[in-house]
Chain A
Amino acid sequence: MTQNSSLVTSTAAVFSKMLRLQLIATAIVVIVSLLISGMHAGLSALLGGLAVIIGAFFGSKIAQRNNKNATAVLMNLLKAEAVKVILIFVLLLIVFKVYKQLVPFALIVGLAAAALVSGAAMSKLDKTDIEI
């Protein structure tokens, strides 16, 4: 395996680790919300977490495009972030408009957990760097 392809593999591993951590965080919040406030709170937390996870998934697909030029890499990353934010905004708008029995606090907690936990994948990044 060449060095470039192994680095691309490590970036993909980091993104998959990030998505896995977000799923775990969302699942924990959904279970806690279900136990505390019932079905609608659990569903609201799930929708909040899923909005971030779907946005991060499509963003990471754009961010993984391989470029050797620093400016092109940066443009890809900014495009990925723009797609992520717009997707999250649209999904949240749909949820707030369509789901009438929404529990807003549960949705915010699910959203915050999924958004904040993505940074924890930095630890995985350091490990894969060392392994290579």
Chain B
Amino acid sequence: MDALAMIQAYTGIGIGLIIGLGAAGACIGIGIMCASFLEGAARQPEMIPQLQGKVFLLLGLIDASFIIGVGLAMMFAFANPLLSVVAK
């Protein structure tokens, strides 16, 4: 198998791992946080409006790693820097 095909094949596997593991981690984190939010809301319903903003900010933080992963995956999909080695 030539170098170009090898790089493209392994890049495809890498993109899948970046997106898949990132999504799995984000989903586990969001699940734990939502469970904690529901537990807190059940204990003290008057705290729901105060928790709302905090939960959204933490959702953003949990998803930040996934969003960065998506950006990196798109970079490897559309502008793969590893292919420049073959082009020379």
Which A residues lie at the B interface, using CB under 8 A?
4, 7-8, 10-11, 14-15, 18, 48, 52, 56, 59-60, 63, 66-68, 70-71, 73-74, 77-78, 80-81, 84-85, 88-89, 92-93, 96-97, 102, 104-105, 107-108, 111-112, 115-116, 118-119, 121-122, 125, 129
B residues bordering A, Cβ < 8 Å? 30, 34, 37-38, 41-42, 45, 48-50, 52-61, 63-64, 66-68, 70-72, 74-75, 77-79, 81
Which residue of B56, B74, B78 is within 8 Å of A63 (Cβ)?
B56
Q: For residue B38, which residues in chain A have a CB less than 8 angstroms away from its CB?
A: 70-71, 74
Asked if residues B60 and A119 are in contact (CB atoms below 8 Å), the reply is yes
A108 in contact with B68 (CB, 8 Å):
yes
Are A118 and B53 neighbours in the complex by a CB distance under 8 Å?
no
Extra A-B contacts (7), CB below 8 Å, given A4-B49, A81-B56, A81-B59: A81-B30, A88-B67, A97-B78, A104-B79, A105-B75, A112-B68, A118-B57
Contacting A118 at CB < 8 Å: which of B37, B61, B75, B81? B61
Q: Could you write out 29 A-B pairs with CB less than 8 Å apart?
A: A11-B49, A48-B71, A59-B56, A59-B60, A60-B56, A63-B56, A68-B48, A70-B37, A70-B38, A70-B41, A70-B45, A73-B41, A77-B52, A81-B30, A81-B63, A84-B63, A88-B67, A92-B70, A92-B74, A104-B81, A108-B75, A115-B63, A115-B64, A118-B57, A118-B64, A119-B57, A119-B60, A119-B61, A125-B54
Closest Cβ–Cβ distance, residue A123 to chain B (whole Å): 10
- Report how far A88 CA is from B66 CA in the complex, Å: 11
Q: In the bound complex, do residue A104 and residue B75 qualify as a contact, i.e. CB atoms below 8 Å apart?
A: yes
Main secondary structure of the interface of A (DSSP, over half): helix
In the bound assembly, the distance between CA atoms of A81 and B68 in angstroms comes to 15
